[in-house]
């Protein structure tokens, strides 16, 4: 009788251990899933359509990305595929006495690194430590491989200041750029999503349909691509 009780107690203990191990395994899996989701919050699957590729601090330029460039009248370069839309947009602005110019177009990785180095040095010259200078510079200048300028389909647009102001250009673009397939890439209040502070001069070509939908719904490129992927399956990929 005593042996049976002892055996029963041992079985109960064993059962408790098994249940505890099982619960720990479930908890471990749940924690792993949560961590995985948090780690991949900003990772976006690369779309097949060239005009919807997302490049930011979390999503680097695809290694096999290639671009054919067209030179503008001021020496800046852009992807040849966006040139007709860019020209059409600028022509439309000029009919309304607004005179935009492309201040920055395509950049190589080397040019991007040079801009970053110059920004770091400027902060060091202001008295920042090396560490603080690098950290601050990276808030404003992308690392090589994470800049949209390396795509050739993003442009920094300012005014021909002999004819109008930057504010006039930014205002016109805000109202009209989407009609030509361009969107304000880094809108205010979206830094946590885009990884970049508000830049009223930085416009990105995404195509007329995407630009219209993004503008009407107040979406960033990250939000638009993520929503399209989740809701439409493989329709845009």
Query: Which of the residues are catalytic?
Result: 199
Q: Mapping DSSP to helix (H, G, I), strand (E, B) and coil, where does residue 118 land?
A: helix
The answer to whether 194 and 139 have CB atoms below 8 angstroms apart is no
Q: Mapping DSSP to helix (H, G, I), strand (E, B) and coil, where does residue 157 land?
A: strand
DSSP letter at 153?
A: S
Strands 100-104, 77-79: pairing is unpaired
Element (H, E) at 172: helix 166-176
DSSP letter at 80?
A: T
The answer to whether 150 and 187 have CB atoms below 8 angstroms apart is no
């Amino acid at each position: 009788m005593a042996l049976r009780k002892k055996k029963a107690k041992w079985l109960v203990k064993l059962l408790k251990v098994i249940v505890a191990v099982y619960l720990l395994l479930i908890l471990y899996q749940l924690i792993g899933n949560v961590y995985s989701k948090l780690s991949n919050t900003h990772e976006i699957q690369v779309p097949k359509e060239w005009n919807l590729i997302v490049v930011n601090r979390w999503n680097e330029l695809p290694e096999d990305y290639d671009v054919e460039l067209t030179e503008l009248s001021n020496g800046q370069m852009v992807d040849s595929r966006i040139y007709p839309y860019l020209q059409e947009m600028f022509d439309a602005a000029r009919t309304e006495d607004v005179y935009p110019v492309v201040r920055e177009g395509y950049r190589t990785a080397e040019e991007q690194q040079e801009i970053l180095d110059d920004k770091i040095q400027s902060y060091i010259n202001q008295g920042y430590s090396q560490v603080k200078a690098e950290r601050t510079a990276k808030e404003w200048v992308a690392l090589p491989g994470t800049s949209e300028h390396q795509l050739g389909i993003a442009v920094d647009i300012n005014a021909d200041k002999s004819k109008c102001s930057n504010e006039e250009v930014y205002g016109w673009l805000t109202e009209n750029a989407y009609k030509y397939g361009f969107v304000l890439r880094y809108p205010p209040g979206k830094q946590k999503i885009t990884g970049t502070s508000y830049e009223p001069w930085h416009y990105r070509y995404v195509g007329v349909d995407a630009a219209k939908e993004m503008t009407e719904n107040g979406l960033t490129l990250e939000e638009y691509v993520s929503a399209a992927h989740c809701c439409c399956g493989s329709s845009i990929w």
